[in-house]
Amino acid sequence: MKRRNFIEILTATGGAMAAASLTVFPEKALAEVKKAVAPNGDETLTADVVVAGGGLGGFAAAMASLRNNQTVVLTEETDWVGGQLTSQGVPPDEHQWIESHGGTQFYRDFRNAIREYYKRHYPLTEEAKNKPNLNPGDGAVSRLCHEPRVAVAVFNDMMAPYISSGKLVLLLEHKITDAKASGNKVSELTAKSLRTNKTITLKAPYFVDATELGELLPLTGTEFVTGTESRKETRELHAPEKANPNSNQAFTVCFAMDYVPGENHVIEKPRDYDFWSNHIPDLQPAWAGKLLALHYSDPRTLKPKNLGFHPEGHKTGDMLNLWNYRRIINKNNFKEGTYAGDITIVNWPQNDYMLGNLIGVSEKDFNKHVDAAKQLSLSLFYWLQTEAPRPDGGKGWPGLRLRKDIMGTEDGMAKYPYIRESRRIKAVFTVLEEHVGKENRLKVAGKKNGTTSAYFYDSVGTGYYHIDLHPTSDKVNYVDFASLPFQIPLGALLPVRIENLLPANKNIGTTHITNGCFRLHPVEWNIGESVGMLIKFARSKNVIPRKVREDKALLAEFQEFIRTQGIETEWSKNTSSDEA
């Protein structure tokens, strides 16, 4: 397929793709989102698709629907679209081939739009400006580490023509609080404004759950699971002997900081500092010691591993310098004097919150755990300012400055916690460790076929990341091991019963184990984009999404349809499994 720049196409055509570039289906879309106001003032919005959750999967689902002439209502709990990349403050975790393959073309075009934004608006050095694959922060975690706000700007630019034309209604600071469903179908959702408490009824033939915790699943009666499955259930090598629905991965409240040598920006001692500065995580196998320290449990071996820290980016021996890990601004990429110092995001083992679960808890308990997680992050920051060991033998870096403006919040913490694990649908097909885990795959498929992941005939995308499970809320330490470049099976996006609700976040048909490699930025985006096109395709054929998978001819046509819009259904033959 000839690559196309989807951002240019979307901007130039207001979302209508060139007819020659894709299969054309009979139009059933509304001209624009319809608004009705009852005599009592109650509002109802009716669209072709309602997407709950404005994270990467939700955004991609909305944009894929819009470019295929569907109208959309998109809700988001915060005031920033972008989820883990923006409101949660997490630069992308990606694989080594992302610049050329292993993700959708739309995702790569978005990444390039980030680079172009910096080149148009920031005082880059000539050397940085001439880098095709500019990485503003040169963070070690990704080939593209950047500020959350720049991503928000690009997202807003991409949505603008659809909002202007009435094809997209964006409801920021709105949370889905109720739903109506009958039989196997959802009929409407209720969205509440978090500012005014006013509610709006949302109606559509199709609904997408792109919330961070799979919150539509219980509201709509969609069957789901949580936590860890047992080895007996899934046959997975790394599954525990006993299932535990309450054992979900830690979440993290991220923050940004810079460093101004010679200045003192030490904050007031956090309320819970005495607790967190002495806290030793209660995990099995045991954690390496105190949480606020420059060591942690090596995710692969679980043995103590030392870490380095120097806020001027200097090498710290053979140890990882945490400052460089998620650095989003490298001052050397910008003209002298632009920045007083680098800016980095703190999403480290030291601020993973393991003392509570956010899934299925009351609003009171949710807020309690998020507040405690903020106290942990503030305590970590204060510890870095006052007690962290320095190479010169001293303690603390008082020049560290909390960058509230980067996160767009009064307290300097991210707008929403970084969520690693969600409710997961009971799916038509569930991805197991034997499909994608390197060791388990070799065991079940043998040397001849075990060097590649399982082939999914119903593939709707590709992804890669090692299986990375952070410590859980029920005292289980890291589980981290190699995986293989994998496909995204359509069956994992289909609930076993509900016909018109589809997942587009971390709530697809994976296990606790395989969620560890399906939860990353480009995979979530790919899932959402495929779901948006699946809705268009199913409506055009007048079938439910599950039928697309069951009918070989429809499936082949659908896969060709998504390939014409830049979604890869197979990995390039140039991808070496040895590199994985």
**Listed residues 419, 442, 464: the one ending a domain:** 419
- Whether pLDDT at 447 is above 60: yes
Return the SS3 of 45.
strand
Strands 501-503 and 206-209 come out as parallel
Number of domains in the chain: 2
Note the pLDDT tens digit of each residue in 402-433.
999 999 999 999 999 999 999 999 999 999 99
Q: How many CB atoms lie within 10 A of CB 522?
A: 26
Q: Let me know whether 268 and 367 are in one domain.
A: yes
Q: How far apart are CA 343 and CA 369, in angstroms?
A: 27
Helix segments in 166-255, DSSP class H? 216-220, 231-234
Mean pLDDT of 369-393: 97
In a domain, 150, yes or no: yes
Q: Let me know whether 430 and 541 are in one domain.
A: yes
In a domain, 227, yes or no: yes
Q: Let me know whether 226 and 303 are in one domain.
A: no
Burial class (CB within 10 angstroms; exposed 0-12, middle 13-18, buried 19+) of 557: middle
Tell me the pTM: 0.94
Residue with the two structure tokens 């046959």:
235
Mean pLDDT of 264-289: 97
Give the pLDDT of residue 575: 76
In a domain, 189, yes or no: no
In a domain, 45, yes or no: no
Give the pLDDT of residue 573: 75
Give 119's Cβ-side CA count (13 Å radius): 16
Q: Let me know whether 274 and 261 are in one domain.
A: yes
Note the pLDDT tens digit of each residue in 15-25.
333 333 345 56
Give the pLDDT of residue 25: 62
Q: Let me know whether 471 and 398 are in one domain.
A: no
Q: Let me know whether 496 and 564 are in one domain.
A: yes
- Whether pLDDT at 12 is above 60: no
**Listed residues 419, 448, 468: the one ending a domain:** 419
DSSP state at residue 346 = E
Mean pLDDT of 198-220: 98
Q: Let me know whether 326 and 432 are in one domain.
A: no
Q: How many CB atoms lie within 10 A of CB 536?
A: 23
- Whether pLDDT at 8 is above 60: no
Note the pLDDT tens digit of each residue in 217-257.
999 999 999 999 999 999 999 999 999 999 999 999 999 99
Confidence of residue 27 (pLDDT cuts 50, 70, 90): low
Note the pLDDT tens digit of each residue in 489-530.
999 999 999 999 999 999 999 999 999 999 999 999 999 999
Give the pLDDT of residue 1: 39
Q: How far apart are CA 486 and CA 459, in angstroms?
A: 10
Mean pLDDT of 121-125: 98
Residue 270 has phi, psi (to 5 degrees) of: -60, 150
Kindly give the interhelix angle for 148-165 and 6-13, rounded to the nearest 10 degrees.
30
Strands 459-463 and 486-489 come out as antiparallel
Task: Kindly state the percentage of the chain with pLDDT values over 90.
Answer: 93
Mean pLDDT of 290-298: 97
Mean pLDDT of 270-290: 97
Q: Let me know whether 319 and 305 are in one domain.
A: yes
Note the pLDDT tens digit of each residue in 64-97.
999 999 999 999 999 999 999 999 999 998 999 9
Q: How many CB atoms lie within 10 A of CB 99?
A: 15
Q: Let me know whether 309 and 435 are in one domain.
A: no
Range of the domain at 284: 251-419
Q: Let me know whether 529 and 566 are in one domain.
A: yes
Mean pLDDT of 273-296: 97
**Listed residues 419, 442, 473: the one ending a domain:** 419
Note the pLDDT tens digit of each residue in 453-502.
999 999 999 999 999 999 999 999 999 999 999 999 999 999 999 999 99
Q: Let me know whether 336 and 391 are in one domain.
A: yes
In a domain, 146, yes or no: yes
Q: Let me know whether 411 and 479 are in one domain.
A: no
In a domain, 51, yes or no: no
Q: CA separation (Å) from 453 to 95, 307, 449?
A: 16, 33, 8
Q: How far apart are CA 309 and CA 316, in angstroms?
A: 7
Q: How many CB atoms lie within 10 A of CB 458?
A: 22
In a domain, 291, yes or no: yes
Looking at every residue in the chain, the average pLDDT score rounds to: 94
Confidence of residue 572 (pLDDT cuts 50, 70, 90): confident
In a domain, 73, yes or no: no
Q: How far apart are CA 214 and CA 422, in angstroms?
A: 6
